[in-house]
Amino acid sequence: MLKLNYDKLSEINSDHGLSRKEIEAESVNLKMYLDKIKSYDLGFYSIIDDEKLLKSIENYASQIKGKFQNIVVLGIGGSSLGTICLQQSLKHLYQNELSEQVYPKLHVIDNIDPDLINGIEELLNLEQTLFIVVTKSGGTPETLSQFLYFREKVKSSNLVIEDHFVFVTDPEKGLLRELSNENPNIKTFEVPSNVGGRFSVLTAVGLLPAKLIGINIRALIDGAREMRDKFLSENFEQNLPFQMAAIQYLSASKKGKSINVTYPYVQKLIKLSDWYRQLLAESIGKELDRGGDKVNVGITPVHALGATDQHSQNQLYMEGPNDKLFIFITVDKHQVELEIPFEEKFSEKLGYLKDVSFEKLLKTEMQGTIDSLVNYNKPSIKLEIEKVDEKNLGELLMFLETATAFLGEFYNIDAFNQPGVEMAKNLTKKYLTKT
C-alpha cells in the first residue's frame, strides 16, 4: 500500500515548508474539485473496469504466443513512456540481454533519429518481429514515418503486413484508424476517445505490450483500482492524491517551489520519472486558465536517481536556489538482498560497511540526502511502496495520474489538453510542405 509521508515539510522553516494544518486547510476544496473532475468526460480512471479490454488483450496474447522473438512499439510521448516504464519497472533490468527468453524482447522506438531506427533494424529478424503502432490521434508524424519505414521493410521481405503489425489507436478518428478500416485483418485495439495520451498507460497502449512480455496486467489493474477508490473518496485522510496535489500546489504557489524533482532511490523506477515528467509538464503547464485568462502556470519536472545523482546534482540541490520540492520514492524491500562483503583489514577506513547490505547502504544514503535537505531548509516528501511489483506500480501510476487531475483543479486549468504542442507540429508540416 502506497504511503505519502510529508513529515519533513513541517521540520523546515515555514518560508519553505508547510505545516500539516496548512495542507489540511485545503480539504475544504476536496469535494468541489472531485465533483468538477467527475463532471468532465475522463476515461482514465474508469477504463480499469473494462473486463472486455483485458480479455481481448489476453486472447490476443495467447493467439500469438511463441510466434515472435521481438516486439517493437512505435510510438511517442504518452504512447511510449508508459510502456517503457512498465518494462523497466517490472522486468529484469537487463531483460533483453538475458540468454534465456521466455517472452519476446520488447523495444520501444520513440524517436525518429535515423541512427535509432537503423540501430533497431540491424537487431531485428523481421520474420520474428511484431510491430505495435501506437498513436491515439493516428496522425503523429514521428510514429507514422516509423510505420511507413518498417511497413516497407516487411513488404519487401515478402512478409504479410497483417501478420506483423498491430495498431492501437482512436476508435473512430485518424489515419491509423482509416488504415485499419481499409484492412480489417490488421488487429486493432482502441484507445478510448476520452483517455488522453499521457493518461493512457492502463489502456491497450501500455497493457498490450506489457502482457506480451509477461507482465501480470490484472495485478497492475488491481493496484490501480485500489488507488482509484482513494481518489474518489471525499475523506481528506483517505484521499492521498488530493493531499499530494495540495502539497505541490501550495509549495509552488505560496513557497516558490516551481520545480518538482522526482527522486527514486529505486533503479527500477527510473523510467517512472520519465513518464511522470510528461504527465506533470503537459498537464499543468498552461497559458490560460479555465476562464480564458492568461495565467502561464506550470511546475517544471526534473528527475534524479538515488544514489547515482547524489554525485551529480546534490550539490545544486543543497546549496542552489530554494525553488524545488523533492519527491523521494522508496521501497520497503528491493527484489534481492545483497550483502557487501567485509574484511577486517578494511575496518579502519570502511568499518561503517560492516554487516551492511546494499539495500541498507542505499536507504541510508537516501536518509542522508533527505536530512541534509532539511538542514538546508529544502522541502521534501516521500512516496513509500512495499516493493516494485505490478500491484504497487498500478497504485503508484494511478496515484500520480489522479494527483495531476487534482492539481489541474488547484490551478483552475485544463489538465487534459495540450494546445502548446500544436504550434511546433504545424510549423514542421508547413516547412515540409512543397508548394
Q: Is 425 a catalytic residue?
A: yes
Instruction: Of 413, 46, 67, 84, give the one whose Cα is nearest residue 269.
Output: 84
Round to whole Å and give the CA distance between 172 and 190.
Answer: 9
- Cβ proximity to ligand PA5, 81 vs 227, nearer residue: 81
With helix as H, strand as E and coil as C, how does 238-276 read? Answer: CCHHHHHHHHHHHHHHHHCCCEEEEEECCHHHHHHHHHH
Our CB check for ligand PA5 shows the closer of 155 and 425 to be 425
Q: Identify any residues that bridge with 260 across adjacent strands, giving them in sequence order.
A: 301, 325
For 381, the enclosing helix (H) or strand (E) is strand 380-385
Query: 190, 282, 390, 401: which is the annotated catalytic residue?
Result: 282
Cis before residue 307, ω within 30 degrees of 0? yes
Task: Give the DSSP letter of residue 415.
Answer: T
- DSSP annotation of 339 reads B
**DSSP-derived pairing of the beta strands 165-169 and 129-135:** parallel
CB of 197 to ligand PA5, least distance (A): 2
The verdict on whether 152 is a catalytic residue reads no
**Secondary structure of 64-118 as H, E, C letters:** CCCCCCEEEEECCHHHCHHHHHHHHHHCCCCHHHCCCCCCCEEEEECCCCHHHHH
CB of 380 vs ligand PA5, minimal distance in Å? 28
Query: Rounded to the nearest whole angstrom, what is the least distance from the CB of residue 187 to ligand PA5 in the complex?
Result: 18
Which is catalytic among the residues 21, 52, 294, 311? 311
Active site (annotated) includes residue 282: yes
Closer CB to ligand PA5, 88 or 135, in the complex: 135
- C-beta closer to ligand PA5: residue 146 or 322: 146
Least distance in Å: CB of 134 to ligand PA5?
6
How many C-beta atoms surround the C-beta of residue 426 within 10 A? 10
Q: Cβ of residue 416: shortest distance to ligand PA5, in angstroms?
A: 9
Smallest separation, CB 209 to ligand PA5 (Å): 14
59/68 Cα distance (integer angstroms): 16
Q: Which is nearer to ligand PA5, 133 or 396 (CB)?
A: 133
**Nine-digit cell string for 271:** 523510467
Query: At closest approach, how far in Å is the CB of 78 from ligand PA5?
Result: 3
Among 55, 92, 425, 429, the active-site one is: 425
* Residues in contact with ligand PA5 by the rule CB under 6 A: 76-79, 135-137, 140, 143, 196-198, 282, 418
Between CA 289 and CA 44 the distance in angstroms is 22
Print burial letters for 195-224: b (CB count within 10 Å at least 16), e (below 16).
bbbbbbbbbbbbbbbbbbbbbebebbbebb
Of residues 142 and 359, the one with the C-beta less far from ligand PA5: 142
Q: Which three cell numbers stand for residue 315?
A: 550539490
Q: Which residue's Cβ has the minimum distance to ligand PA5? A: 197
- Judged by beta carbon, residue 143 or residue 402, the one nearer ligand PA5 is 143
Q: Give the residue numbers marked as catalytic.
A: 282, 311, 425
